[in-house]
Structure 1
Amino acid sequence: MKLFFAPAVLLSAIILLSCSSNDSHNIKDPVGPSADTTATGTTEITAQTIYSDLSNPWGMVWLPDGRLLVTERAGEILVFKDDKFTGQKLTGVPKVFNHGQGGLMDIKLHPDYATNGWIYITYSKPVEGGATTAVARFKLNGTTITNLTDIFTAKPYLTADFHFGSRVVFDKDKYLFVSVGERGTQPKVQQLDNDHGKIHRLNDDGSIPSGNPFENTAGAHKSIWTLGHRNPQGLVYDAENNRIWEVEHGPKGGDELNLIEKGKNYGWPKTSYGINYDGTVLTPNKELPGIENPKHHWVPSIATCGLSIVTSDKYPGWKGNLLVGALALMHINRITLDGTNYKSEERLLQNKGRFRYIAQSPDGYLYAISEGPGALLKLIPSK
């Protein structure tokens, strides 16, 4: 791809995005479609910088009144309107454990926000003995947070300052799913008497619904939906197909794309396509009976963070594609699927930042947040 930079504040990255193969590093001619265009066509976009002074952004969501809320890990929630920072930040954000990988993270609206006004956040909550992954919900009065309540805290509490997870999504039945990292406690990931290295299913008030897979298992935490996860920092609900997709960090190599299904074990640390950071063997097993294999894995790691699905018609050929932020390899990863199987990927905006999350606005445009540099980008398709 070729990138062109306009003057002043616009980062004009004119990119030709082919949909044909895993090789995303070919240089394309910017004046016309690439020669290897498939039936899905190509999309030319401009990446426009909306704001360039973010500090470790993590999540974003639009309110029905058009305001965009962007979370920063230190505990700020910035307010944007009409693609401009309003200068406002929400007040009343809970105190966060802003150390290591901890802080304020994801943000989502309740599916019935228009009638109940609930907004959900995930954050690393300071607790006696360290910190834990927590989910809170609140309402807004202008820019003031009200009715703030924690509805889930991962137990037991741990001292580690890394691998908190954490993303939240709602499915069609308005159940809340939250991903929790393993916090370095490898053996506990395979045990059901703790919340770490798991994805949990909750009611919207934090209570536990009936029908969870381990509700009748003695000693098990009843909120657990799946187990065997390392550090799942991407979660998205595909409403059209009623599926949940997840991405998680591997160790040195072995980042994963997983299709999340009730009661399944995703292997960590029994199986992995990665190795220890010092180069030693973590496990000899890439696959095992009873373990759900990833739909795709990355070696070397791209450091997956954030996951979304394109439902907009504004990006020809992208509908149904997954978009993954890449921290270590600094790009947006566009994944095409064949049903529930990985088909191909393309790496976009290479080296333009450590991309945390990509989200689709109510009017169908894609926005991305990055750190290093800390920026909010709007991906504008050409005619």
Structure 2
Amino acid sequence: MVITLLQALVYGKKRGFFSGLLFYLLLSCFSSQAQTLPAGFSRVQVASGIAKPTALAFAPDGRLFVAQQDGTLRVIKNNKLLTTPFLKLKVDSNGERGLIGLVFDPNFASNKYLYVYYTLANSTRNRISRFTANGDVVVAGSEVVVLDLDPLSSASNHNGGAMHFGKDGKLYVAIGENANPAQSQDLNTYHGKLLRINPNGSVPAGNPYTTGSEQRKRIWASGLRNPYTFAVQPGTGRIFVNDVGQYAWEEINDATTGGKNFGWPAAEGVSTDPQYDNPFYTYKHAYGTVDGTGCAITGGVFFNPTTTNYPAAYQGRYFYQDLCSKWINVLDLSGATPKRESFATNLGYYALGLTVGTDGNLYYLERSANAIFKIIYTTNSAPKIVQQPVSLTVTAGQSATFSVAVSGKTPFTYQWQKNNANISGATQATYTIASTKAADAGNYRVVVKNSAGSATSNSVALIVTGFNNPPVAQIITPAEKSFYRAGDAISFSGEGTDVEDGTLPASAFSWSVDFHHDTHHHDGPPVAAGVKSGSFTIPTSGEVSPNVWYRLLLTVKDSKGLTHTTYRDIYPYLATISLVTQPAGLKVTLDGQPINAPFSVNSVVGLERSIGPVANQTLNGKTYVFEKWLHGGTATQTISTPKENTTYTAVYRESNTTTMRLEAENAYLQGVIVATGHGGYSGTGYADYNKLSGEYIEWTIQAPTAGIYNLSFRYALLSGTRTLRLAANGTLISSAFPFTATGQWTNWASKSVSIDLKAGINKVRLTSTGTMGPDLDYLEVTPSSNVSVVDLRIYPNPAKSYLQVELPATPSANCTLTLYNNQGTPVFSTTRDNQNPKNQSFRIPVANFPKGLYILKMQQGKQEISERIILE
């Protein structure tokens, strides 16, 4: 996720957050360009040596807690990083997993509770746990599991992890979709959501979804991709969620009100689809470090501290930062629409975790520097050294760098001195000796001046020890220009030598893998340290961009502490996936996002991709429904990118009376055990166009008991009037059952009648005195109040994510439930022992099915119960 010094790559879609330290990012703690901030502001390093920081939070007493991805929680107290960690958890730190979130209980001062979000060491899921503090360390054995989240896929990215307490005292938790976009719209999983829970993990009152699964009841907002950070405004309780985008846009979403759906994967950025909630603010992706554009929003905070010396104009504003573009921007929220302003530029790479300290200053992390920084403000005009240089001990031939940070009125002039004498040309905030020698040893300081005065830094020592040849690292395998497929196991081996030490032992070896994507990278699969050879496996899911590769790095260290790093890049085999439709010009989904076909994309061979249909599309005035993929398989399916270029064709058919006749054929039979027979002209066929007189349509109904039943019919006519005759068991019920023209296919005339049915088999027939067409939609049968029937309960209907099914208890042990799509094709089936109370209530997941009409049938011997289901 760093813009590399060795390769210029085209920036496109992205994604991932965390990164290891690139060996070639020389002196990344200090930019070659000075930081640019408003007058009076300065960036100051708070602490360094924090390996791969992921999140930070202030305790009410002013201590700063910082999470490391490896499971270590560190404490900074009185501006010092404590040696002893507060907590050390066993975690899976692969990719973007690990210890990635923390928050303090609002009553921490009395109960000493803090909460962390981490990935279990067995990689199965992320967990939210509560711990109790005892001073600067955790109380041993105090972990209380608050909530275990849903199982993780093999993809290690998009975990989210941010946590905050709201104004209401509830715990809000942001969770990524784990590189499975469809999960963002599935209300039966936590993935891709903002949760609202009680501090003990239970469901609080006031959440938008009060029924259904336990996941659904905890959800506050949905349709999120990777909400790595979010913020709650002190006082107002306003919630802004910073959601990392994919192709073009970064989003700040207002989730103050529960129940919002921010649209991912169907929408990214501003959408015209009214079923989704648009972002409060967006910014574009761009190359390089252009202020206001970037690659990933990784921090945001409302500036409402209790006390601060920042100018009053910043109160109530929203600060946010980008991972790659080295800036912090600020939104003025005072108007009807937010107004963006630049605040800081030319900061370090991989900035994240922006927050406000108890001292009223902004704080944030820089993973490229393994450090924490704060931004301070002073009204002093004269220069003030706010970050002093530090003493150094180096081996002759190594570089040495001194640096300071200064506040005051700009511009400044700098003059570095050795032993109180000016050094020619040393006139920047940073002074570097590229290759030290014994004569460079001495005391160094800098004199800083501006128009209002001057300041002199502390004098610090440079000690230069005797020359020592650095070691040399060599990667033997994999070979240069190696390639991979997703799922491959990559073997590696290397050697290390040193002039003074000779051949270096395995204990001197350190390996790492970076996964590069466009202009940035994040951590790749973990590899063992202290070995000369080993292997790692390329995952089959995760980032879908073709502009990716893996970099294997080997670092060797000699006995005097000098190191050398080398690397080997491994590139992917690519193949083209083409998506087309019949007829041409319709839409399909790729990785959950709707796209216009025909569409082609390069993909890493072996990488899993999701393809699916888009239901009920209109093209040239005609409506189409999905029928099948030419290659077979379910409507929404996961494919493994093949070795050869491959075309996948989605077949759609025009939505016409065939579908409506199918509805009549399956019927809508509610509350009665039925067997749906279907007659027609001459005893076969359907109610259809232009048939001869004497057409009929017939249903077979098995009533559980004799009594009065209510029958309802719907009929569509473009013009004229159709008079039908209704008979039950051969007895004429009505000789004049008229239906008047509705004028449109989609409008229906309805008729209802009560008839007396016998227990057992009944034949109900509608007969036309002329042609029956255009179309009969359905028969609905409901018992009157004096009839006791077996009932199949299904809800919600219409449904989006799941169907809750409650089976009737019947004397027979086994029943089969089958869900049919509007083509009559079974898409789900299960057999249940519904004498067992545990089997009488269960869920059918339907989030991945195309929307439209479905029929759910319960079959028990020769008996059926059928329900008409609408999926939205």
TM tier, shorter chain?
0.7 to 0.9
* Pairing 1:236–2:231 present: yes
Deviation at 1:311, TM superposition (A): 1.5
Aligned mates of 2:245, 2:327 — CA distance in 1:
17
Q: CA distance change for structure 1 residues 220 and 56 in 2, over 3 Å: closer, same or farther? A: closer
Q: Report the equivalent of 2:126.
A: 133
Check if 1:69 corresponds to 2:65: yes
Q: Which of 330, 334, 346 pairs up with 1:350?
A: 346
**Counterparts of 1:1-383 in structure 2 under 5 Å?**
15-17=36-38, 43-91=39-87, 93-127=88-122, 130-146=123-139, 147-217=142-212, 221-260=216-255, 261-273=257-269, 286-300=271-285, 301-312=294-305, 313-316=308-311, 317-338=313-334, 341-383=337-379
C-alpha distance in 1 between matches for 2:105 and 2:166: 10
Shift of 1:294: 0.6
Displacement of 1:44 after TM fit? 2.2
Q: Is the 8 A contact 1:198 1:225 kept in 2?
A: yes
Please tell me the residue identity of whatever aligns with 2:207: N
1:228 and 1:142, CA in 2 relative to 1: closer, same or farther beyond 3 A?
same
Secondary structure of 1:88's counterpart equals: coil
Hey, what's the Cα distance between the residues in 2 that align with 1:15 and 1:361?
21
Which residue type is aligned with residue 364 of structure 1?
G
Higher strand fraction (1 or 2) = 2
Q: TM-score, normalised by structure 1?
A: 0.82
What's the offset of the Cα at 1:132? 2.5
Q: 1:107 to 1:271 in 2, by over 3 A?
A: same
What count of residue pairs does the alignment treat as equivalent?
336
Q: CA deviation at 1:107?
A: 1.5
Contact 1:125 1:134 survives alignment (8 Å): yes
Measure how far apart 1:252 and its partner are.
Answer: 2.5
Alpha-carbon separation, structure 2, partners of 1:238 and 1:66: 19
Most deviating of 342-351 and 173-182? 342-351
What are the ranges of 5 or more consecutive residues in structure 1 without an aligned counterpart?
1-8, 18-42, 274-284
Q: Separation in 2 of the partners of 1:64 and 1:258?
A: 28
3-state SS, counterpart of residue 206 of structure 1: coil
Instruction: Provide Cα deviations, 1:2-51, integer angstroms capped at 9, x if missing partner.
Output: xxxxxxx999967443xxxxxxxxxxxxxxxxxxxxxxxxx521111122
Secondary structure, counterpart of 1:305 in structure 2: strand
* CA distance 1:102–1:244, change in 2 (3 Å): same
Q: Deviation of residue 125 (structure 1)?
A: 2.4
Identity %: 27
Q: Give the Cα–Cα distance (whole angstroms) in 2 for the partners of residues 176 and 108 of structure 1.
A: 9
Deviation at 1:180, TM superposition (A): 0.4
Separation (CA, whole Å) in 2 of partners of 1:60 and 1:193: 30
Answer yes or no: is the 8 Å Cα contact 1:327–1:355 preserved in 2. Answer: yes
User: Is the partner of 2:227 in helix, strand or coil?
Assistant: strand
Deviation at 1:320, TM superposition (A): 1.3
Say whether the 8 Å CA contact 2:37–2:343 is kept in structure 1: no
RMSD: 2.3
- SS in structure 2 opposite 1:114? helix
2:203 is paired with a residue of what secondary structure?
coil
| Code of the aligned partner of 1:360 | V
Which structure has the greater CA radius of gyration? 2
Retained in 2: the 8 A contact 1:54–1:375? yes
Q: 2: CA distance between counterparts of 1:201 and 1:112?
A: 18
Cα distance, 1:54–1:13 mapped onto 2, change above 3 Å:
farther
The answer as to whether partners of 2:222 and 2:261 remain within 8 angstroms in 1 is yes
Taking the aligned partners of 1:340 and 1:204, their CA distance within structure 2 comes to: 35
The TM-score, its normalising length taken from structure 2, stands at 0.37
Q: Is the 8 A contact 1:51 1:375 kept in 2?
A: yes
The alignment partner of 1:338 has SS state of coil
User: What is the identity, as a one-letter code, of the residue corresponding to 1:366?
Assistant: L
Q: Distance in 1 between matches of 2:110 and 2:165?
A: 16
TM-superposed deviation, 1:251: 0.4
SS in 1 for 2:274: coil
Structure with greater contact order relative to length (CA < 8 Å, sep ≥ 6): 1
Pick closer, same or farther for the CA change 1:131–1:335 going to 2, 3 Å.
Answer: farther
| Structure 2 unaligned regions, length at least 5 | 1-28, 286-293, 380-872
